[in-house]
Amino acid sequence: MERLLLRIDREIIAAGGKRSKSRAAVMERFFRAGDHVTVDELTRAVRKTFPRVGTVTVYRTLKLLARMGYANEVDFGEGARRYESNLDSHHDHLVCTACGTVIEFKDPDIEKLQDLVTRRHGFRPTAHRLEIFGLCRKCADRSAGRRQG
Amino acid sequence: MERLLLRIDREIIAAGGKRSKSRAAVMERFFRAGDHVTVDELTRAVRKTFPRVGTVTVYRTLKLLARMGYANEVDFGEGARRYESNLDSHHDHLVCTACGTVIEFKDPDIEKLQDLVTRRHGFRPTAHRLEIFGLCRKCADRSAGRRQG
DNA sequence: CCAGAAATTGAAATTCACTTTCATGTTATC
DNA sequence: GATAACATGAAAGTGAATTTCAATTTCTGG
Ligand SMILES: [Mn+2]
Ligand SMILES: [Mn+2]
Ligand SMILES: [Zn+2]
Ligand SMILES: [Zn+2]
């Protein structure tokens, strides 16, 4: 983690950038924070320790991390996009429309079938996203309980 | 098609609405148009025959059709959402990032595997979307050709 | 330590898709 | 055709995201 931040910093400098406290604070919080965070959420979190950090810097830092491959933009159709760290391998999402919980999953079989589909259409895939919306276990149980009294 | 429009009109009236020329024009164009159309695109198309139709009416009509189940909102992350008619059964999309072509596909095996995933997590699915981004056959060929001279 | 050059910051302005408002026009009903 | 309800569209309003720009910070190297 400390390692990661150093590595990213070095990469930024190698590309002609300079270090900065605000950006460092944003990055640290981002990689510590639970994933799938909005710019607004992250800004509030960062400001607990660095109250003067502007929203713009959070926008810029997350865009930068995404460009460098350390973060992913995701969009669950809520109106604001979310970011997740891109340190571990690809996964897809179950999104609870009641409580907002996001469950990550990997399914190699689905991925294989996706490859077949694209091949069948002469399509050369570069990225994909699979999102399943519905009720997480907790919310499903709750609504079932309510239904039965 | 004429049938469809009549049916929708009847449904609107049954719900306390009234007929309207603008809305009729939008609906007709929408169901004739190729799918995956933006509000802006559809507005321009409608205005070829009804120049006075406002963007707002297109927004409202598409929202209405979506609420009534005759249209779907889709979002390929371009900044503006798209609409498609919802007359035939569910499908997913291959989206060419070079030319914008959208290929629709159905894969029951993938859907089955999705069901397994959700079951494994005690998740009750209500909707999902699977989008694969990349190059369509044409664009893939073109870029391959360029690479080889 | 001290310029000076270049990158970074954040407040404010801007953009853009989309929604809301509201005065006016249309449609249905009696 | 009078009346009430609905639909329309121009204009104003929202809200997320981006751009602008003057001020600040970081780095270099004398
Ligand atoms: Mn994730
Ligand atoms: Mn489609
Ligand atoms: Zn839930
Ligand atoms: Zn293409």
Let me know how long chain A is: 149
Q: Which two tokens stand for residue A22?
A: 């605000």
Q: Identify the pLDDT of residue B148.
A: 67
Residue A142 CA to ligand 4 centre (angstroms):
46
B133 vs B89: CA distance, rounded Å? 22
Residues 6 or more apart whose Cβ sits within 8 Å of residue A30: A37, A42, A61, A62, A65, A71, A83, A85
Q: Which residues of chain B have pLDDT under 70?
A: 148-149
Entry pTM: 0.93
| Residues carrying CATH 1.10.10.10, chain A | 1-88
Arch. (CATH architecture) of B89-149: 2-Layer Sandwich (3.30)
Q: Identify the pLDDT of residue A5.
A: 97
**Residue B85 burial (CB count, 10 A):** 17
Whether A42 CB is under 7 Å from strand D:
no
* Chain A residues with CB-CB distance to B123 below 8 A: 94, 96, 103, 132, 134-137, 140
A57 vs A20: CA distance, rounded Å? 11
- Alpha carbon B83 to its chain centroid, in Å, reads 3
| Strand C interface, A 29-68, C-beta < 7 A | 52-54, 56-57, 60-61
Q: Identify the pLDDT of residue B149.
A: 56
Residue B143 CA to ligand 4 centre (angstroms):
10
* Chain B residues with CB-CB distance to A75 below 8 A: 75, 77
Q: DSSP of chain B, one letter per residue?
A: -HHHHHHHHHHHHHTT----HHHHHHHHHHHHS-SSEEHHHHHHHHHTT-TT--HHHHHHHHHHHHHHTSEEEE--SSSS-EEEE--S---EEEEETTT--EEEE--HHHHHHHHHHHHHTT-EEEEEEEEEEEE-HHHHHHHHHHHH-
Is 3.40.50.261 the CATH number for B1-88? Answer: no
Whether B20 CB is under 7 Å from strand D:
yes
Whether B64 CB is under 7 Å from strand C:
no
Q: Would the CB atoms of B124 and A140 count as touching at under 8 Å?
A: yes
Which nucleotide lies nearest residue B23, CA to C1'?
A: D7
Q: Identify the pLDDT of residue A145.
A: 78
| Residues carrying CATH 3.30.1490.190, chain B | 89-149
Which nucleotide lies nearest residue B59, CA to C1'?
A: C18
Q: Identify the pLDDT of residue B98.
A: 94
Residue whose C-alpha is closest to residue A69's, from A138, A131, A15, A130: A15
* Chain A residues with CB-CB distance to B131 below 8 A: 128-129
Whether A55 CB is under 7 Å from strand D:
yes
Half-sphere exposure in the Cβ direction for A29 (13 Å, CA):
24
Spell out the per-residue pLDDT of chain A, length 149, in tens: 889 999 999 999 999 999 999 999 999 999 998 899 999 999 999 999 999 999 999 999 999 999 999 999 999 999 999 999 999 899 999 999 999 999 999 999 999 999 999 999 999 999 999 999 999 999 999 988 777 65
